């Protein structure tokens, strides 16, 4: 599968592991609940990079102390109308100075990619890979902005 990362279409090297699935080798992401449950025994010793997927109802504050150990934060959009991930991204970049990859995943529109990038998201996993070129082009929709952003 391919994603947009840092304004380029690239192959995705990450796998999301559900809470009830066995851990795989390689780069994985897990839920916040699984991170909190398994980080000491398994995840901090994992053979590969580890990321955490945040749901809209999760609090960024719950992983603030661990951000240096996490190489990817996935912000899940379970529904198009839920915009809390915008706030999560802004908090990660501005309050906690997180410099790793922040990836949008789930149900959002390619038209939102520009606005998501303004709050700090630098990678985008879309439901339909055929939407990648259109989404990538939206990153250049505007050349002038009135508000400050993270980029």
Sorted by where each starts, the structural domains of the chain and their CATH numbers stand as: 2-15+31-78+85-138 (3.20.20.70)
Q: Which residues of the chain have pLDDT under 70?
A: 80, 141-151
Nearest Cα residue to 7 out of 141, 105, 122, 100: 122
Beta-ladder partners of 8: 5
What is the pLDDT, as a whole number, of residue 39? 94
What is the pLDDT, as a whole number, of residue 108? 87
What is the pLDDT, as a whole number, of residue 139? 82
DSSP character at residue 47: S
Q: Which two tokens stand for residue 12?
A: 């995705």
Beta-ladder partners of 54: 75
What is the pLDDT, as a whole number, of residue 90? 95
pTM of the model: 0.91
What is the pLDDT, as a whole number, of residue 105? 96
Beta-ladder partners of 105: 76
Q: Are 77 and 55 in contact (CB under 8 A)?
A: no
Nearest Cα residue to 57 out of 37, 33, 35, 40: 33
What is the pLDDT, as a whole number, of residue 7? 94
């Amino acid at each position: 599968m391919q994603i947009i990362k840092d304004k380029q279409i690239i192959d995705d090297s990450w796998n999301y592991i559900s809470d009830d699935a066995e851990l795989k080798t390689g780069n994985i992401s897990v839920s916040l609940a699984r991170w909190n449950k398994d980080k000491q025994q398994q995840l901090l010793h994992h053979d590969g990079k580890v990321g955490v997927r945040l749901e809209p109802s999760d609090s960024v504050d719950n992983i603030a102390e661990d951000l240096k150990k996490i190489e990817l934060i996935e912000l899940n959009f379970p529904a198009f109308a839920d915009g809390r991930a915008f706030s999560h991204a802004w908090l990660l970049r501005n309050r906690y100075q997180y410099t790793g990859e922040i990836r949008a995943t789930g149900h959002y529109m390619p038209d939102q990619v520009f606005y998501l990038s303004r709050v700090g998201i630098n990678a985008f996993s879309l439901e339909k890979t055929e939407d990648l070129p259109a989404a990538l082009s939206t990153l250049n929709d505007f050349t002038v902005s009135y508000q400050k952003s993270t980029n």
